[in-house]
A and B are shown apart, each in its own frame.
Chain A
């Protein structure tokens, strides 16, 4: 229940498990009565080790275990914010089955007057594109969390509901907005802002995205587990072991406390880019971009440098950059190595690793 509440409703319920939530309005009974929706969800092991199935448990229920409140009693499924338990008798049950309270829960989430789901959803979408939620953190939308831009959340939330929960509609709104398209370069008036979106906040990419971009830029193919060869890191629905992705903040989605990916730089990340065989092998990949450029004997070194810039920064080098780089390239006896080094510099540069 805590996961559902945090992921879909932007509510961190955990504190209310034992006692009244210190920062929000939820009582322990609220917690347990909401948890009661999961009463009939059971698990059963499968034939493969670690395999788990969710099963329907007809007799299942949840016992209120709060320290205060209705301890010891069977918790009655109650929608968040409602005073009365769900009228289960009114739910149309399938033949031979008990009334499906989870279905009622899902319908409640997407009801037009539901304040939680739509807001949490647009907040997450906003955060994904702008780097920070309108409410921050994205999954902690308490009564006491400040809202950075009053009215924005409600407006977007309304758009989502009225479009019948069309994510693409919201995405279009956000991406076409002036706010999203504002430059990252700070000026005298907006340098200190970090929460009102008066400029674009440069930020690192998600680990999976960074790996994909790195592979594309270097022309390196990477196979993830047993997935088909063309599968990109961001398409992986099940986790595949990857030190790179872990180091660059990929969330393991195991613990509620660590649901969000971590986008803070670390020394470990730097060491990995700087000095790992893994990254170095992408640069010197026999089928990679440097190898291809070397093989094409019609190209001049200057053209190769341009090609690498385009491949990574999506622009040509400025005159001063070009001059400085060509000096190094011309002085090198091993062109393959110097171009690998240049490619390293380009993918290690913040212009590459930051979204701006």
Chain B
């Protein structure tokens, strides 16, 4: 049995759009929390006014994660003048932003390029899915045995949630390394773990079960407090034990707020609006993200997979993922703008890496982390700009290389978080938020 191509077991998990996750309702719990250990005073600290925050412009982030690593050349950074074995099948298209061309299969996004900007010289050197994802979701290269908190968890730490909704939500399910790491499970994302495009989509367990009343719920709550009193002796040394009780509080809060629960109901939107976003997972997820942002959620990750195009890339991309993304992202961006939410909502669109300029013998592209693209917009980011450039083949940055640390600084800057601040892990390891990165001044203040 000869296994020919590199598109084998290691990448198999990334090739399918998370169908398995959705079908079997597998809950991907907050992911990397490698230590899950004692933060004995953390909860006290968290109640106090966090330092390092000023009145930044953005109050929410929507991070659209293109799992698998989208080809930069076939999306944001076309190379029409490169040889055919590099430029691929797609042609470039002019956009609303002067001087910026993107793939012909993003025509609707093109019309929103006055609001979106591109980094074309993103560089990480991490061409493995897990390592690349870790780097892009946290701003840190993976450190063995150490749980680095993701952007979403850090943002939730600094920005208190508004209202009863959890401050950090992952749609349809959590992105790998999108968890809270050493900050503790309380800052992991909440996730409906279901596709909002499914007709039966409901966040489970939000409605009172048959035979239950609000009075009985109250009685249960108070009985639990009574019977669980003795266990509190162990709280001092068990982070998880404290977290469980904090989740009970949050759950009660969520159940008590009909408004909060309604945020999850895309079904309350007019059908034309749902159609405009597209009746796809990514479309309905971005619509849900908009509703959650309106409901006060601070950080939403929207996961859209299937970008790991090792083989047969072009027909596949233009036949499915790209049109879906085109419609969803363009409508989302425009919708935020129309509702006056764009200034307050930072949009980040990225995957774990780009793809090889050289097309492989299976008509696809393999992993490429030396140079790729990220799209940003809203949240005070200047639109219609390009930061950095790749070389003629899309292989290396030709100018202004940007590392995830700089992206990290840019995200925190937009949120008004001082990224030179540090967080200290329970064992006393201090991590500076953006680890020496600098925000992209071309895009933000």
Contact = CB atoms under 8 A, between A and B. Distances in A.
Contacts of A142: 144
Nearest to B213: A337
A271 B251 contact: yes
A322 to B, nearest CB: 10
B185 to A, nearest CB: 4
Given A57-B1, A341-B223, A349-B227, A267 B241 contact: no
Given A136-B145, A145-B144, A328-B219, A39 B1 contact: yes
B130 interface: yes
Given A14-B10, A63-B3, A266 B220 contact: no
Interface string B183-216: 0010010110100000000001111111110001
Contact of B212 (A23, A243, A280, A346): A280
Nearest to A194: B37
A241 B20 CA distance: 12
B247 A267 contact: yes
B204 A243 contact: yes
Given A39-B1, A338-B219, A350 B241 contact: yes
A266 B30 contact: yes
Contacts of B252: 274
Interface hub of A61, A142, A277 (most chain B Cβ within 10 A): A277
Interface stretch (A83-91, A172-180, A201-209): A201-209
A195 B426 CA distance: 12
Contacts of A263: 36, 240
B2 A61 contact: yes
A321 B226 contact: yes
Contacts of B208: 275
Contacts of A255: 13
Interface in A128-157: 136-137, 140, 142, 144-146
A194 B426 CA distance: 10
Contacts of A328: 219, 222-223
A183 B299 CA distance: 40
B2 A350 contact: no
Interface stretch (A118-126, A214-222, A245-253, A292-300): A245-253
Given A63-B2, A192-B40, A345-B220, A265 B227 contact: no
Nearest to B185: A264
A330 interface: no
Q: Interface size class for chain A?
A: 35 or more
B205 A342 contact: no
Contacts of A348: 220, 224
A281 B210 CA distance: 9
A269 B243 CA distance: 12
Nearest to A2: B9
A354 interface: yes
B236 interface: yes
Contacts of B234: 184-186, 202, 350, 354, 356
A351 B248 contact: no
B228 A351 contact: yes
Contacts of A23: 144
Given A137-B34, A348-B224, A354-B231, A266 B29 contact: yes
A208 to B, nearest CB: 15
Interface in B1-46: 1-4, 6, 9-10, 13, 20, 24-30, 33-38, 40
Contact of A266 (B20, B231, B247, B254): B247
A344 B217 CA distance: 10
A62 B217 CA distance: 60
Interface of B: 1-4, 6, 9-10, 13, 20, 24-30, 33-38, 40, 128, 130, 144-145, 166, 176, 185, 188, 190-191, 193, 204-212, 216-217, 219-220, 222-224, 226-231, 233-234, 236-238, 240-241, 243-245, 247-248, 250-252, 254-255, 426
14 contacts: A2-B10, A201-B238, A241-B24, A263-B36, A267-B166, A270-B244, A271-B255, A276-B209, A277-B210, A337-B216, A341-B216, A350-B241, A351-B227, A353-B244
